[in-house]
Amino acid sequence: MSKTINEIVNRLKKYPEADYELNAESITVNPKNDNGFPVTLTDNGNGGFMVAFDFWHEEFDNENDALNCFAFGLSKDCRLKLTKKGNRPIKWTVESNENGKWIEDSTTGLINLNFWKKSEYEFLQNDLIKSISE
């Protein structure tokens, strides 16, 4: 287990209700309920990391930035906007809460062959960490 993943395991000791899965190069914190989403950090080696919120993902070359993003995904300050067409998820957009207003950050999407169907939205949010300042 990498020192970064070990750091996350140590930090999660503050949250005994956290359900997580470990393997040699990654850790995933599972959502507490159907309204949440899994948060994963993968240590790619050579100082590279990937953080994923469900299907959304971002690469980092800085451990501290990756750890902050990982914690952000577990907090009430973050939510994931799921865009669906024909009941299939096609886009995952990370949003942050700034003074009570949700601001879109970045999006990961799939090629959508059902472009004519009406978009439906679902919002997923974790609350393991009440505020990112914890």
Spatial separation of the C-alpha atoms in residues 68 and 78, rounded to whole Å: 12
Look at residue 87 in the predicted model and tell me its pLDDT. 84
Place of tokens 């190069």: 25
Q: Which stretch of 15-29, 58-72, 110-124 has the lowest confidence by average pLDDT?
A: 110-124
Overall average pLDDT of the 66-95 stretch: 95
Q: How much is the pLDDT for 7? A: 94
For the cut 80, the answer to whether the pLDDT of residue 76 exceeds it is yes
How much helix, strand and coil, in percent to the nearest 5, is found in the chain?
15, 45, 35
Instruction: Indicate the pTM of the whole model.
Output: 0.92
25 has pLDDT over 80: yes
Q: What is the pLDDT of residues 116-134, one digit of tens each?
A: 788 899 999 999 998 765 4
Domain ranges of the chain: 3-73, 78-124
* Segment 90-120, tens digit of pLDDT: 999 999 999 999 999 999 998 877 777 888 9
- The strands making up 88-98's β-sheet, listed across from edge to edge, are 101-109, 88-98, 78-85, 119-124
